[in-house]
Amino acid sequence: MDSKRDKDQDADSEKITPMLLKSRTGEFDLESILFLKLRGLGIIDLGCIGECINLEKLDLSGNNITNLAPLASLRLLSVLCLSSNRISNLEPLRNCEGLQNLNLAGNIISSIENLQCLQLLRKLENIRLKDNTYNYTNPVCRNAAYRNIVLEMFPHIKVLDGERVVGRGSELYQLCKDIDETIKAGSYKNGQLVEHSDCKPWVEDNYWEIKRSNNAIIEEAYKQFNDVLHECRLLNNRASHVISQTERSMSLKKQPKQYAI
């Protein structure tokens, strides 16, 4: 008798029930729930989650979910975190037309074809399929052309795997990436560290100039970006000063010692 009761309780703990949702949110009416966080509860069955039709933000990370069918009715859902589950089929999400932010890192999505159903989500701006912070990924990310293909599939997304992909912010990111690659390629020759005495800038003098715009929102964004650039310049000046001091110190060490006779 006790064994049967224990099994029933285990089954309930693996399934989303009205009782679980009410205890977590304090809401008696499931339609009143707007935000829901159910992380790391060992959930397998999404149960009655589809009855929360006004849900806007949902976090189901760290569970054992495979079937997303109950999510199909959540048309107002804007933020959905499904990281660290066992998901391979994303078809039910095609109906979540309000989705803007989707985290799928740490699942078993195996091919680009599995992502095609998400192309119908016109509001989707942020997609994450891998997260290096937690070492979460998907088999599809092993494809050498993965990033380029995803960006072609979703031309309107702003962030992929935590990296900004549109706007001037992406140009700055790409520039920094190019600089890193240039440094790595040029710092060593035949396994030996090469010293560079004559360094030229990577960009033209007017690269950092901000073009003016009549759009107030864009104007404000430019102002914020200008602040970031100002901080970058300060950091660059400090770095140049440290490099100069280091070079001076190294040159002094290389000078032959003189002994008084």
Q: What is the pLDDT of residue 34?
A: 95
Residues linked to residue 189 through DSSP beta bridges, in sequence order: 192
63 burial (CB, 10 Å; 0-12 / 13-18 / 19+) is buried
Q: What is the pLDDT of residue 169?
A: 57
User: CA neighbours within 13 Å on the CB side: how many for 108?
Assistant: 9
Q: What is the pLDDT of residue 7?
A: 46
Q: pLDDT tens for residues 186-206?
A: 655 555 555 555 556 666 666
CA distance 150 to 173: 18
DSSP state of 79: E
What is the CB neighbour count within 10 angstroms for residue 205? 7
Q: Report whether 33 contacts 52 (CB < 8 A).
A: yes
Report in angstroms the alpha-carbon separations of 39 from 23, 64, 80: 15, 11, 12
Q: What is the pLDDT of residue 5?
A: 45
Q: Report whether 154 contacts 127 (CB < 8 A).
A: yes
Q: What is the CA radius of gyration of the chain?
A: 26
* Residue 223, helix vs strand vs coil: helix
CA distance 31 to 16: 15
Q: What is the pLDDT of residue 172?
A: 60
| Residue partners of 92: CB distance under 8 A and separation at least 6 | 68, 69, 70, 71, 72
Q: Report whether 64 contacts 108 (CB < 8 A).
A: no
Q: What is the pLDDT of residue 214?
A: 56
Q: Within the chain, which residues score under 50 in pLDDT?
A: 2-9
Q: pLDDT tens for residues 104-156?
A: 999 999 999 999 999 999 999 999 999 998 999 999 999 999 999 999 999 88
Q: What is the pLDDT of residue 116?
A: 95
pTM of the predicted model, to two decimals? 0.64
CA distance 86 to 106: 8
